[in-house]
Structure 1
Amino acid sequence: MDYLITEGYPSAAEKFAAEANIQPKADLSCINERVQIRESIHRGDLQAAIELINELNPELLDTDKKLHFSLLRLQLVELIRQSFTSSDPGLVGKAIEFAQNNLAPYAPLDAQFKVDLERAMALLIVPKESWTQAATSGSSSQPTTSVQNDFGALAELVDPSLRRKVAKDVNEAILQSQDQRREANIRYLVRARAWAEQLAREKKIELPENLPLGLDGEETPSRSQNGHNGDTEMTENGSEATGADAEITRYTNLPS
């Protein structure tokens, strides 16, 4: 439930709450605003996304310069993309004007802003044929070899993953501005599990090659050998841990 609310899936969260017979802690209707922003970014409509963000929190982009710049740079990339995939010859000039008016003022603020702006502007010299090829492979999760060859170090700017990254950053910033966690608990749990496993291996503690997550209902070898039934496990201080908490406890209570 926490993951569905934090990541912005209100319909799934509502169905989950109904099936599990639980009451969501958050107002599911409030998630729709973040969903609209995310969908606008995913389809490349950055102007609509920025307007929605300003309606939701007028101060967010003013205080978070890095986030605002990333949105504007992505908007510039989309304008350049349109200029090469459209028959309107005036779109190139509009993209350049947009960069001058909206992104150039950021360049003196941070050296990285200047570098990122220059890389985005370099897309203007990419041949139109390369943009056509990128458009045909835009639905793939990774840039194709031909796109990587045509765009070189700029390939990441035209890859759909950039939209997803910016949308994720925006979602986290909105949550933080609303005094909520930036990430769902399960993400912290996964990182904690990976850290505990790495620490155990560094201490030369014998572990299975692959540690199951315990989501398939099967008993793990380590637990069956120790006589556990897979449901609960006692921690070092005598308290009871369940599920994933027990998994973390197993590998975080390590000998020095």
Structure 2
Amino acid sequence: MDYLITEGYPSAAEKFASEANIRPRADFSCIQERVQIRDSIHRGDLQAAIEFINELNPELLDTDKKLHFSLLRLQLVELIRQSFASSDATLVGRAIEFAQNNLAPYAPLEQQFKNDLERAMALLIVPKDSWTKAASSSSSGQSTSQVQADFGALAELVDPSLRRKVAKDVNEAILQSQDQRREANIRYLVRARAWAEGLAREKKVDLPEFLSLGLDADAHPKDSHNGHHGDTEMTENGAEDGAGGGDADLARYTNITS
């Protein structure tokens, strides 16, 4: 229930509550607002997402510069994508104008802003054929290897995973602004489990080569890495996401001595 509410799945949460005969503490109508924002980002409609965010919390993007910049940069990427998918030659100019008016003011504030803006603008020099092949790969669900070959270090900007990452960051920021936990407990516990196992193996503790959580009876040990069994894939940014900076907190879940 906690996961469904935090991640923004109101219908599933409501059905779960009904079948489990429990009364949820959350207001499902509030969850729906986060769902609207997430769906807008996932489909590349960043303008709508920003408007929804401002309606929900007018101060959020003003106080969180990094979050606002990431939304605007993704919006720039979508504008550039549209310019290559359309025969309208004015779209390139609109993308450049958007960058000048909305993103350029961030460049003097932090070097990372400047670097990220420059990388996004570099998409304008990618050949149109590469954009066409990228769109084809995305719609057919094919491997991203061709996209990586065409876009090189810029591939991450056109990969759908960037939309998911930004949506995740926005969801967590909204939850925090509402004095709620930024993520579901199960995500934290999965990272804690992976961290504890990794530490145990590092200290040569006698453990089976494969430790299953019993979440997928059909999976084979060879599909796992160091016994993680893909559990940590529940995070959007990979198995080790956020684990490095939380060792002190995670340590309380294990009795392994340093």
With the shorter chain as reference, the TM-score category is 0.7 to 0.9
* TM-score normalised per structure 2: 0.83
Cross-structure match for 2:62: 62
Contact 1:42–1:163 at 8 Å: present in 2 too? yes
Distance 1:109 1:140, change over 3 A: farther
5 Å-filtered alignment, 1:21-40, equals: 21-40=21-40
1:73 equivalent in structure 2: 73
Partner of 1:145: 145
Match of 1:178 in 2: 178
Q: 1:187 to 1:141 in 2, by over 3 A?
A: farther
**2:243 corresponds to which residue?**
none
1:237 corresponds to which residue?
none
Flag the structure with larger Rg: 1
What's the offset of the Cα at 1:91? 0.4
**Quick one: distance in 1 between partners of 2:12 and 2:114?**
41
Q: How far apart, CA to CA, are the structure 2 residues paired with 1:25 and 1:165?
A: 27
Check conservation: 1:141, 1:161, Cα contact below 8 A.
no
Contact 1:143-1:155 at 8 Å conserved across structures: no
What's the counterpart of residue 253 of structure 1? 255
Normalising by structure 1, we get a TM-score of: 0.83
Give RMSD over aligned pairs: 2.0
- Change in Cα spacing, 1:143 to 1:55, as seen in structure 2 (3 Å) is farther
Higher mean C-alpha deviation, range 206-215 or range 90-99? 206-215
How many residues get paired? Answer: 225
Q: Do the aligned partners of residues 255 and 162 (structure 1) sit closer, same or farther apart at CA in structure 2, a change above 3 Å counting?
A: closer
The one-letter amino acid of 1:29's match is S
Unaligned runs of 5+ in 2: 218-249
- Pairwise CA distance, 1:142: 7.8
Q: How does 1:107-256 map to 2 (within 5 A)?
A: 107-139=107-139, 144-215=144-215, 252-254=254-256
Structure 1: 5+ residue stretches without partners: 218-247
Amino acid at match of 1:252: T
* Distance verdict in 2 for CA 1:141–1:24, change over 3 Å: farther
Range 117-126 or range 202-211, more displaced: 202-211
Distance 1:147 1:203 in 2: 40
Residue 142 to residue 7, structure 1, CA distance change in 2 (3 Å):
farther
Deviations 1:102-126 (A, max 9, x none): 0000000000100000000011111
1:69-97 superposed Cα distances (whole Å, 9 cap, x missing partner): 00000000000000010111110000000
3-state DSSP of counterpart to 1:88: coil
Contact 1:41–1:163 (8 Å) recurs in 2 = yes
Cα pair 1:61 1:68 within 8 Å, conserved: yes
Is the Cα contact below 8 Å between 1:83 and 1:92 reproduced in 2?
A: yes
Question: How far, CA to CA, are the matches of 1:252 and 1:131 in structure 2?
Answer: 48
Please, which moves more after superposition, 61-70 or 128-137? 128-137
Identity across the alignment (%): 85
